[in-house]
């Protein structure tokens, strides 16, 4: 759902003034600010409650802007950009001297991508035509438009519900078609070493190998071994406020019944039909294919989080490579919900 020209013009003016603008990408809604303006970037951190050492991804209008933000760009970066941009792939490169440490979390690397959503591209290109913000860099920093650690927004209403007046303008582009965050690929390793996959997403390791001839190394916890820290890589992330537990398909009905007998209210996220749909306080059944599941996952988790349940039960998904990105988000959501429950016990 493209925005009209006055909305785009207003968004550009707000960004130039150092204000925040939320907009849709093909992955999730982003909370945008002029990436070359440290004061504006600081407003992102304040609105999200995000720690200052967590780097942000910079969104660009086209791959021709790469050398404004990165240095020593390897040939594989251009090959990947040609293959996947615009699209849900973030490249980690050595940052250019002009790039503020406010963006990079104090690191010598920066995350860059060109989003595929038509409204995001319209905004980025209009921003570039209007001068591109501070120093004409033409980059918009845009982490997910939600409170830090919470479920990412895939609809404009999610942004309004969570951030409210902290955002000067929300551009409504409908539901995000991918639904989970971009793949993050680190291209800073020395020559001869494979790139490192820091976060799984729609673009798979095999697709990357088909372009550059090398399968990326999959890194479990970025930052632990000298790899760059990146967005969405904490063990606990993407989490509802309601405790969440992953359950095997074989044990799901039993787990629901056990909770009901103990007087607890449960909400259920599943792929398969249940013998008794009415046993749960709330139920969301998602598509059985990984892309369809990913597209609807965050909206379903938000719905279940509002159901006033004591626990969200999530039916475990297949362990095949096609489901790796979704499995990553569910593991982090369960860890995040568990962490909140532990903090609540201690308080």
pLDDT tens for 9-39 read: 999 999 999 999 999 999 999 999 999 999 9
pLDDT tens for 225-272 read: 667 777 766 666 788 999 999 999 999 999 999 998 999 999 999 999
C-alpha span between 151 and 154 (Å, rounded): 9
Closest CA to 139 of 95, 74, 189: 95
For the chain, how big is the Rg over CA atoms in Å? 20
pLDDT range class, residue 338, cuts 50, 70, 90: low
Please enumerate, as own/partner, the contacts of 126-134 that have beta carbons within 8 Å and a separation of 24 or more: 126/8, 126/9, 126/11, 126/12, 127/12, 127/15, 127/61, 128/61, 128/65, 130/12, 130/16, 131/16, 133/15, 133/16, 133/34, 133/35, 133/36, 133/37, 134/34, 134/36, 134/37
Chain Cα centroid distance, residue 22: 14
Percentage with pLDDT > 70 across the chain: 92
C-alpha span between 105 and 128 (Å, rounded): 25
pLDDT tens for 55-103 read: 999 999 999 999 999 999 999 999 999 999 999 999 999 999 999 999 9
Across 166-170, average pLDDT: 93
pLDDT range class, residue 344, cuts 50, 70, 90: very low
Helices (H), the chain: 5-16, 38-48, 66-69, 75-84, 101-104, 118-129, 156-163, 205-212, 249-261, 290-305, 324-346
pLDDT tens for 181-230 read: 999 999 999 888 999 999 999 999 999 999 999 999 998 766 666 677 77
Specify whether the CB–CB gap between 22 and 145 falls below 8 A: yes
Model-level pTM? 0.93
pLDDT range class, residue 347, cuts 50, 70, 90: very low
DSSP 191: T
Start-to-end CA distance of the chain, whole Å, equals 45
């Amino acid at each position: 759902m493209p925005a009209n020209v006055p909305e785009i013009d207003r968004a550009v003016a707000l960004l130039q003034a150092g204000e925040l603008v939320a907009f849709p990408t093909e992955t999730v809604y982003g909370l945008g600010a002029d990436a070359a303006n440290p004061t504006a970037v600081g407003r992102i951190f304040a609105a999200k409650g995000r720690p200052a050492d967590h780097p942000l991804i910079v969104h660009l209008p086209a791959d021709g802007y790469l050398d404004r933000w990165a240095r020593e760009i390897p040939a594989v970066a251009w090959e990947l950009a040609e293959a996947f941009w615009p699209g849900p792939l973030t490249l980690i490169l050595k940052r250019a001297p002009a790039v503020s440490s406010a963006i990079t979390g104090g690191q010598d690397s920066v995350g860059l991508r060109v989003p595929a959503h038509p409204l995001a591209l319209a905004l980025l290109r209009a921003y570039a035509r209007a001068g591109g913000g501070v120093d004409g860099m033409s980059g918009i920093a845009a982490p997910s438009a939600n409170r830090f650690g919470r479920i990412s927004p895939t609809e404009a209403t999610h942004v309004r519900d969570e951030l409210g007046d902290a955002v000067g303008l929300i551009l409504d582009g409908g539901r995000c078609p991918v639904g989970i965050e971009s793949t993050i690929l680190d291209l800073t390793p020395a020559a001869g070493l494979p790139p490192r996959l820091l976060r799984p997403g729609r673009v798979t390791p095999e697709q990357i190998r088909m372009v550059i001839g090398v399968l990326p190394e999959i890194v479990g916890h970025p930052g632990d071994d000298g790899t760059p820290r990146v967005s969405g890589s904490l063990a606990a992330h993407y989490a509802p406020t309601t405790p969440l537990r992953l359950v095997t398909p074989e044990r799901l009905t039993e787990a629901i019944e056990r909770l009901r007998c103990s007087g607890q209210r449960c909400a259920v996220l599943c792929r398969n039909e249940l013998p008794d749909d009415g046993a749960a306080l709330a139920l969301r059944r998602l598509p059985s294919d990984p892309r369809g599941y990913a597209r609807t996952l965050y909206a379903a988790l938000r719905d279940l989080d509002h159901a006033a349940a004591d626990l969200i039960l999530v039916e475990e998904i297949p362990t095949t490579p096609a489901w790796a990105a979704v499995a990553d988000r569910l593991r982090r959501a369960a860890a995040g919900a568990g962490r909140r429950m532990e903090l609540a016990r201690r308080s």
